[in-house]
């Protein structure tokens, strides 16, 4: 019965979307302003077209209206995705964030290539991107941060590096390297310059002292005390350990895919 209700709603929604051309953003709960909808729709379309991968944002007022219970957000998401024929290519590659506002439920659902691009660990990081904003009902801010993270993960997936446990971004390490080398070189030159000046000044002082000493009568010199002191210097090194893979908090990487072919990360905001 619940699928019948949802199918009827989607048939109406498809007509509305055909008129408004809002293919990737479906704000049925009307939590966004018109200007926010335009900006998000443009971002969604750009990302989806660039990576040939469907990225969707969907909001409902209450999934219970379609006979889905409190803990059935994942089933709700799968039915909506399939009934609405979402996803790119024959494999329906895509990622959808769907929200039921009444119970403050959300689900991040991946399908097709989305299961590889968005691992269990990656989905957790997507939640981190919007969680604080959604708690304050700042929907546009949270969705924008979420899309930034989605695009970042898609970029690295396309390069053959899915965002997963122990993810290493070599570009992030290397992109600042030339500037760091330049800074180090400038710093070294400054140190060398002042060290050279100090050395020259020291030699000049010694030369003056030797010259003055030559004119002194040795009978006027009396050495009363000679003492050498060594001040011990110490340094400490603190090692910060890092963990990844199976040793890092129980995360083993990869994606948990349901028998339906979808993977999920659901909860409340």
| The pLDDT value given to residue 182 | 55
| The pLDDT value given to residue 243 | 31
Residue 202, token pair as written in the block: 């020291």
Phi, psi of 242 (to 5 degrees): -125, 155
Rounded Cα distance between 141 and 32, Å, is 11
DSSP state of 87: S
Per-residue pLDDT of the chain (269 residues; tens, 9 = 90+): 565 555 555 554 544 444 344 489 999 999 999 999 999 999 999 999 999 999 999 999 999 999 999 899 999 999 999 999 999 999 999 999 999 999 999 999 999 999 999 999 999 999 999 999 999 999 999 999 999 999 999 999 999 999 999 877 655 444 444 555 556 667 667 776 666 665 566 555 545 544 444 444 544 444 444 444 333 333 333 222 223 333 333 456 899 999 999 999 999 99
- Give SS3 for 121: helix
Q: What is the 3-state secondary structure (H, E, C) of 88-104?
A: ECCCCEEEEEEEECCCC
| The pLDDT value given to residue 253 | 87
| The pLDDT value given to residue 178 | 56
pTM above the 0.75 mark?
Answer: no
Max Cα-Cα span within the chain: 117
User: How is the chain split into domains, by residue range?
Assistant: 2-13+23-171
Rounded Cα distance between 203 and 178, Å, is 37
122 touches 82 (CB < 8 A): no
| The pLDDT value given to residue 166 | 85
Rounded Cα distance between 80 and 98, Å, is 9
| The pLDDT value given to residue 120 | 97
Return the residue matching tokens 């710093």: 187
Distances (CA, A) of 110 to 92, 122, 242, 261: 10, 11, 30, 9
CATH topology of domain 2-13+23-171: Diaminopimelate Epimerase; Chain A, domain 1 (3.10.310)
The alpha-carbon radius of gyration of the chain (Å, integer) is 32
Residue 170, token pair as written in the block: 């070599």
């Amino acid at each position: 019965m619940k699928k019948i209700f949802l199918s009827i709603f989607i048939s109406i929604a498809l007509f509305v979307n055909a008129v408004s051309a809002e293919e990737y953003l479906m704000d049925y709960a009307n939590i966004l302003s018109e200007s926010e909808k335009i900006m998000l729709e443009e971002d969604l379309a750009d990302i989806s077209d660039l990576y040939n991968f469907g990225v969707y944002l969907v909001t409902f007022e209450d999934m219970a209206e379609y006979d889905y219970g409190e803990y059935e957000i994942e089933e709700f998401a799968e039915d909506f995705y399939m009934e609405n024929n979402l996803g790119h290519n024959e494999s329906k590659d895509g990622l959808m964030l769907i929200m039921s506002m009444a119970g403050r439920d959300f689900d991040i659902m991946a399908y097709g290539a989305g299961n590889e691009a968005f691992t269990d660990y990656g989905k957790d990081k997507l939640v981190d991107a919007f969680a604080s904003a959604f708690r304050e009902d700042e929907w546009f801010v949270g969705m924008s941060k979420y899309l930034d993270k989605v695009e970042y993960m898609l970029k690295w997936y396309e390069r053959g590096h899915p965002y997963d446990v122990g993810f290493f971004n070599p570009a992030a390490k290397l992109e600042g390297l030339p500037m760091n080398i330049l800074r180090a070189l400038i710093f070294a030159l400054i140190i060398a310059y002042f060290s050279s000046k100090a050395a020259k000044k020291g030699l000049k002082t010694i030369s003056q002292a030797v010259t003055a000493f030559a004119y002194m009568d040795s009978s006027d010199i009396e050495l009363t005390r000679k003492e050498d002191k060594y001040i011990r210097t110490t340094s400490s090194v603190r090692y910060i350990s890092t963990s990844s893979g199976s040793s890092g908090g129980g995360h083993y990487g990869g994606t948990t895919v349901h028998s339906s072919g979808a993977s999920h990360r659901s909860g409340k905001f």
